[in-house]
């Protein structure tokens, strides 16, 4: 892993086409527009009214969208829908060779799908902005942005795209998709799993809440704002998540056993007094 920055080549305003326009794509779009980039969007859902308000061209037809001469195609689909979206994309409609970028929360899987589906002449940049509408609502300064230049020939376009996040003050982390997934399984997936467990337990604030307990409540509430599709994708499409789930189960069993052993010890101690 390396803290990195893009090359010193001058940045330029980009024509960015967003595939998928859910809450996270909308969150990114507002900053990109603020920086002066031109945005287009396509999505199975009709976001034409919102896009009009934001000054974004919305395309219902994916073929027409791909013909729109984009510098960058930004994949903002869910993890679970990625393969279907890419495999049904009419790539023959492309009028140029744009940079394809994904912003999914797992990395080996989209990298493999992009390399399989896209022609070799198309550049691929895998990224993960490790923040969202909640954690990034007051700006992106010092928030982590991971990326790997998977297949890059047009360095200028790649650097201009990365500079979007540099300009906002992100911590730029260049690492392999494999390393990302290994680290994310222990951090992001574990966080979401514990948050979901707390939700299943229906934990709520009490009149006796400590700061530590309030932290758990906040964890539950923040993770439950994300979709179940995201949580499922973090598990199904990150090969390291399976082991982390096993580690969590084993650790819980160890803690339970420690408590059982202590209870047995105390019971024997109490019995010996009588």
Query: Helix or strand or coil: residue 75?
Result: strand
Q: 190-200 and 241-272 helices cross at what angle (nearest 10)?
A: 50
DSSP 92: G
Name the average pLDDT for the chain: 94
Where helices occur in the chain by DSSP H, the ranges are 23-34, 48-54, 62-66, 82-87, 108-117, 155-167, 177-184, 190-200, 211-224, 228-236, 241-272
Q: What is the pLDDT of residues 192-245, one digit of tens each?
A: 999 999 999 999 999 999 999 999 999 999 999 988 999 999 999 999 999 999
Confidence label for 273 from pLDDT (cuts 50, 70 and 90): confident
Q: What is the pLDDT of residues 153-183, one digit of tens each?
A: 999 999 999 999 999 999 999 999 999 999 9
Whether the predicted pLDDT of 40 surpasses 80: yes
pLDDT of residue 12: 86
d(CA 245, CA 7): 39
Its pTM stands at: 0.88
Q: What is the pLDDT of residues 71-109, one digit of tens each?
A: 999 999 999 999 999 999 999 999 999 999 999 999 999
pLDDT of residue 271: 87
Is residue 87 within 8 Å of residue 114, measured between CB atoms? no
Phi/psi region, residue 142 (left: phi>0; alpha: psi -120 to 50; beta: rest), is: left
Whether the predicted pLDDT of 9 surpasses 90: no
17: β partners: 40, 73
pLDDT of residue 10: 61
Count how many residues are written for the chain.
274
């Amino acid at each position: 892993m390396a803290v990195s920055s893009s090359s010193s080549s001058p940045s330029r305003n980009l024509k960015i086409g967003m595939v998928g326009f859910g809450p996270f794509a909308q969150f990114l779009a507002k900053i990109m527009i603020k920086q002066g980039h031109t945005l287009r969007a396509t999505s199975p859902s009709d976001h034409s009214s919102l896009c009009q308000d934001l000054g974004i061209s919305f395309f219902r037809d994916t073929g027409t969208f791909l013909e729109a001469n984009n510098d960058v195609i930004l994949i903002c689909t869910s993890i679970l829908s990625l393969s279907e979206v890419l495999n049904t994309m009419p790539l023959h409609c492309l009028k140029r060779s744009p940079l394809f970028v994904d912003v999914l929360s797992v990395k080996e899987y989209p990298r493999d799908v992009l390399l399989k589906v896209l022609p070799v002449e198309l550049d691929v940049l895998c990224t993960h902005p490790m923040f969202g509408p909640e954690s990034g609502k007051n700006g992106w300064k010092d928030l982590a942005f991971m990326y790997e230049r998977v297949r890059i020939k047009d360095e200028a376009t790649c650097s201009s795209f990365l500079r979007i996040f540099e300009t906002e003050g992100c911590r730029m982390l260049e690492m392999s998709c494999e390393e990302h997934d290994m680290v994310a399984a222990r951090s992001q997936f574990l966080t979401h799993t514990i948050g979901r467990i707390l939700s299943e337990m229906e934990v709520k604030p009490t009149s006796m809440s400590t700061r530590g307990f309030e932290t758990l409540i906040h964890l539950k509430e923040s993770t439950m704002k994300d979709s179940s599709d995201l949580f499922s994708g973090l598990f199904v499409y990150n090969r390291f998540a399976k082991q982390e789930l096993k580690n969590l189960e084993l650790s819980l069993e160890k803690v339970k056993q420690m408590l059982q052993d202590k209870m047995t010890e105390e019971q024997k101690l109490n019995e010996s007094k009588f």
